[in-house]
Structure 1
Amino acid sequence: MEFVVVAAVVAVSFGAAATWLIATRLPEHWLDKSASDGRYAHLGLENERAAETDPRRDQARIDTRRVRRSRVRARLQSAARMMRALRPATAHSDHDRTARP
């Protein structure tokens, strides 16, 4: 069991050392090249794309949310009305006479 713990500590420390070496020892021009040509190159453009979105699509999303909300509210209100109708008539007067410990 001690071997597993030692192996885990060695693996984690090796990963930390490798990360530190990559961050501190790679030449700057390699980092710039990988930032512009790498697979994560266009992640910084996401904010610019968000600013260029079509306002009609944004409005459609907002309208869809409004329609869904109103449908949910209507269902809840109809369910509440049905529950009130099914409640016994004496339940209102019994509420004041509840026994307290």
Structure 2
Amino acid sequence: MQKHEELQKHKDEVTVAPPKFQSCQLVRIKKESELENPDGPNPSEFAMGKSGVIEMEGMVYVRNPDQESTEEGTMEQAYFVRIEGIGPVLTGEDWLEDAEPPPR
């Protein structure tokens, strides 16, 4: 119970921006060349440039590979995007943009 109380005490110290995208929203995963500073988590290369629907959003722990083992990573906004023919792909918020609905 002590750990829970400690977390509650520090809850107000952590501020998290609301997610830019919501579940069931149609998005496009950008290509690496479209970004100035690609941030993690990076999507798989075969998913870049494709459109899909956000299944779930949340925070993931991303560790900088350049940091030593004692250094801490950061919490980043991330999404699972379902792409037809591929399945769910984990990607960071910087990699996404609104997508146009397919023509009827």
Q: Answer whether TM exceeds 0.5 for this pair.
A: no
User: Aligning the two structures, in what range does the TM-score lie when normalised by the shorter sequence?
Assistant: under 0.3
TM-score where L is the length of structure 2:
0.23
Structure having the higher Rg: 1
Question: Which has the larger share of helix?
Answer: 1
Question: Which has the larger share of strand?
Answer: 2
